[in-house]
Structure 1
Amino acid sequence: MWDVCTLLPILILAMKSIEIFAGAGGLGMGAHRAGFEPVLMLEWDRWCCSTLRHNFSNSITLKTPQPTIIEDDVCNIDFALYEGQVDFVSGGPPCQPFSLGGKHRAYADTRDMFPQAIRAIEQVKPKAFMFENVKGLTRASFSSYYEYIKLRLEYPSLSRNSDESWIDHLSRLEEQKTSGNHSDLHYNVVARVINAANYGVPQKRERIFFVGFRSDLGIDWHFPEEEYSKDALEWTKATGEYWELMKVPFSERSPATHKPVSGSLLFKKPWITVRQALEGLPDAEQDPKGATEFLNHQFQPGARSYAGHTGSPLDEPAKTLKAGVHGVPGGENMLRRPDGSVRYFSVRESARLQTFPDNFCFHGAWSEAMRQLGNAVPVSLAEKIARNIREALTISASA
């Protein structure tokens, strides 16, 4: 528990951040809510940049001066301009090279932007960084490249030579690590696959997060503890507490999917469900007039259920929202009603599932907005991790 003397410097110490591969700004907004002041947001996609410009110039959304928003390829940016001026760098390098739905080309894929993320770290030399990517990066077939990425993040100054393969570079990085020589820029890096539902996001979304602290700061850190669990949700269903809380009629109540383990319930909150996340939003299909009172809340026709695409049931966290790189944005981006019928989530409903505030406006057509949301980091999850990082940095600075 933090006392007043500990919290005071956390509240007043200004810390600046840069967001690269910003997308629609989920990770950047989470970092801002955690107390970082964004000075630069970089994204190449025009619709994402339009979304960023609208929301990060909005005094309701942003409590600090507006960041510079650059619409450009990351390869064209000289990050050395920010050396010594930025405490924290974050971003989500494109995930298609490692996605289960992609071509799985990893280092052979020109969309692999981890080398550019590492270049940003080398040039800015921030006190800490956080990068997010798909769980697919941890698959056995990518194991060597996963280790390569992690070591590159630890030793960003140990660059790859022009005539050197990444495998040879990996060997050189391994030698550097085992030598114990940390005279150059060095980060202590941890990585963990996180299920967003275990952190209070109404979505079963598994992603890997890399967090690093500059080694000269001497910071001891670990990922924040999980506070939510499936077992706790199942227990509230079994006791009827959940159904009564949500005023669900008996005809719509589903049986518990498994017997909860009582010992796992002691310090956990129930997973947050789709029904809870959408509470207060009118159904855009059944009440189109009421839906107009909310941003981006229009009914999208054409949803259908088929093998592997059955939608998200109301009384569980949603399945992972997808960006839809292969056509219709995520055939799973649907709500499944208790009677088995399905409809697409509206953009606003999807934003709720990604924990964006209701005043956050997404630009572009439904398919474009859903792509932005499918690629986004849940705001509240980003905030929890970034807040932990900021507190560690503040304590280090105050020591």
Structure 2
Amino acid sequence: MAEQLDVSAGRTCVELFAGGGGLAMAVERAGFRPLLFNEIDRRACETLAHKAEAYEVGGERPPIPGPGERPPLLMGDIRKVDFDYLKGHVDVLAGGPPCQPFSLGGIAKGDEDDRNGFPHMFRAVREMEPKAVICENVRGLLRPSFKPYFDYIKRELSLPFEQRKDGSTWRDHDEVLRHLLETNAVDPHERYDVMHFPVNAADYGVPQIRNRVFIVAFRCDLRINRKRFRQLVKPRFSEASLHEHMIDGSYWARHPEVPREVRGRVMARIPQQPLLRSDAERLLPWRTLRDAIKGIDGQEPLPPVERLDRKEHNLGGFTDHIGWPDARIYPGHTPNELDRPAKTVKAGVHGVPGGESVLLLDDGTHRYMTVRETARVMTFPDDWALAGPRGEKMRQLGNAVPVLLGQVFASAVATVLEEAERPR
């Protein structure tokens, strides 16, 4: 994991496109005090409202909270929010702009799609002038067909104060940005140093295969150590190490309940001579779905699901741990396996393809994953309450940033900001 650092209680953050709160939780865990959340989805707002004071967009301007005070939640369209009042108060601006324009699962219209949230993120940067920006999005942004626009996104974040003129195309604006970056004629206070990182959440301790891209930017006048930041966000977990732990028996020692025949099937599928590294280079093993259900980082094991119905009951005192009937598997719709990281949790607004929400049990039967199991796969804490019916809760989780993944990047931001601002 990224190195942890005690940051000043005065460090602050703002979270846009906050959704169910995954990235917001990660940034707060890294030591940043939230000044504002913004979200438009009604159910996600209900989830966030248990820790924030709710205000309607277009109503009164929320106050800037002091230490120990509940942050405000602006509920509504980001296009109607004025962020000028936060200028000079924000260390980190974080958010996951809507990804449907770039998702492989969507219509992939990119810049032409009016759901593209990046222009609104950049306006917030201009109005707040944060020290750092953290954006998370789908890996589809890196597809060859989107590469020119992705490069433009990074240049636009580099020079957020150079606004696109009305009526001009993004390509016209990109030419202006290219020229300014080449001539280096912009005040460092109005220019950002931008980096991007393709990631698989499993490589950061999340029990899920989830390929995403992080875009991180620092205001140039801060002179952040780029090499140091890249070192802090390097992956610390690997599939090869998981295989090594299975071969040497340490994985199975953590799970003595696994039947011998199940263990045999798993071992028959993995390389029996994985690439071994020196102790100094050895990574931690990927965490599996079985690890998540049993509990990671001090969590209590989830009790087994013994009945499948749609009635509200919470097993062992865990909320949202409810067996859901009618799961199916068939070619192209295969279930999650316990001894692998889970498949990517998807929002599934129009139904989840591929079996991502189905779980294969040791006895050969299968069922839908509970909301609580899915939340664990997203590394949400067990006491985080999601609002709405099951489908809405699963959608919030599918749209979220895994908390542990976001925390690695937010903690690294905290570290390099603290180091850059120490007296020299």
- What is the TM-score with the length of structure 2 in the denominator? 0.87
Instruction: Give aligned pairs, total.
Output: 389
> Which residue identity does 1:131 align to in structure 2?
C
State the Cα distance separating 1:309 from its structure 2 match.
2.1
Match of 2:41 among 36, 39, 45: 45
Q: Distance in 1 between matches of 2:252 and 2:355?
A: 28
Q: In the alignment, is residue 281 of structure 1 matched against residue 302 of structure 2?
A: yes
State the Cα distance separating 1:14 from its structure 2 match.
1.4
Q: Secondary structure of 1:211's match? A: strand
> Which residue identity does 1:260 align to in structure 2?
P
Q: In the alignment, is residue 215 of structure 1 matched against residue 211 of structure 2?
A: no
Partners of 2:333 and 2:353 within 8 A in 1:
no
State the Cα distance separating 1:395 from its structure 2 match.
1.8
Superposition map of 1:90-129 within 5 A: 90-129=94-133
- What is the TM-score with the length of structure 1 in the denominator? 0.93
Partners of 1:13 and 1:394 within 8 A in 2:
no
Match of 1:72 among 66, 72, 76: 76
Q: Provide closer, same or farther for how the CA distance between residues 180 and 155 of structure 1 changes in structure 2, counting only shifts above 3 A.
A: same
State the Cα distance separating 1:381 from its structure 2 match.
1.3
Superposition map of 1:1-399 within 5 A: 10-56=6-52, 64-183=68-187, 185-221=190-226, 222-223=229-230, 224-247=233-256, 248-253=258-263, 254-255=266-267, 256-258=269-271, 259-263=273-277, 266-279=281-294, 280-286=301-307, 291=315, 293-328=317-352, 331-399=355-423
State the Cα distance separating 1:13 from its structure 2 match.
4.4
Partners of 1:284 and 1:290 within 8 A in 2:
no
Q: Secondary structure of 1:24's match? A: coil
Which string of whole-angstrom CA distances, capped at 9 and with x for unpartnered residues, describes residues 275-328 of structure 1? Answer: 011011012344996715101111111211133221210001111000013224
State the Cα distance separating 1:50 from its structure 2 match.
0.4
Partners of 2:159 and 2:191 within 8 A in 1:
yes
Q: Distance in 1 between matches of 2:260 and 2:141?
A: 43
Runs (4 or more) in structure 1 with deviation over 6 Å come to 287-290
State the Cα distance separating 1:339 from its structure 2 match.
4.6
Larger deviation, residues 19-28 vs 160-169:
160-169
What residue is the counterpart of 2:298 in the other structure? none
Q: Distance in 2 between matches of 1:21 and 1:311?
A: 30
Q: Distance in 2 between matches of 1:152 and 1:208?
A: 17
Q: What CA RMSD, in Å, does the superposition of the two structures yield over aligned residues?
A: 2.1
Q: Distance in 2 between matches of 1:285 and 1:100?
A: 36
Q: Provide closer, same or farther for how the CA distance between residues 109 and 286 of structure 1 changes in structure 2, counting only shifts above 3 A.
A: same
Q: Distance in 2 between matches of 1:205 and 1:124?
A: 31
State the Cα distance separating 1:228 from its structure 2 match.
0.6
Q: How many percent of aligned residue pairs carry the same amino acid?
A: 41
Which consecutive unaligned segments of at least 5 residues does structure 1 have? Answer: 58-62
Which string of whole-angstrom CA distances, capped at 9 and with x for unpartnered residues, describes residues 175-221 of structure 1? Answer: 11111222261000100111111110101111100000000001113
Q: Provide closer, same or farther for how the CA distance between residues 19 and 195 of structure 1 changes in structure 2, counting only shifts above 3 A.
A: same
> Which residue identity does 1:20 align to in structure 2?
L
Q: Distance in 1 between matches of 2:391 and 2:147?
A: 33
State the Cα distance separating 1:64 from its structure 2 match.
4.1
Which string of whole-angstrom CA distances, capped at 9 and with x for unpartnered residues, describes residues 318-377 of structure 1? Answer: 110000132248741221224543211111111101111111111101100000000100
Q: Secondary structure of 1:38's match? A: strand
What residue is the counterpart of 2:59 in the other structure? none
Q: Distance in 2 between matches of 1:119 and 1:356?
A: 30
Partners of 2:347 and 2:396 within 8 A in 1:
yes
Q: Secondary structure of 1:161's match? A: coil
Partners of 2:308 and 2:325 within 8 A in 1:
no
Q: Provide closer, same or farther for how the CA distance between residues 11 and 53 of structure 1 changes in structure 2, counting only shifts above 3 A.
A: same
Q: Distance in 1 between matches of 2:353 and 2:39?
A: 20
> Which residue identity does 2:246 align to in structure 1?
K
What residue is the counterpart of 1:60 in the other structure? none
Q: Distance in 2 between matches of 1:236 and 1:284?
A: 28
Partners of 1:329 and 1:370 within 8 A in 2:
no
Which string of whole-angstrom CA distances, capped at 9 and with x for unpartnered residues, describes residues 242-269 of structure 1? Answer: 1122112211111242241112774211
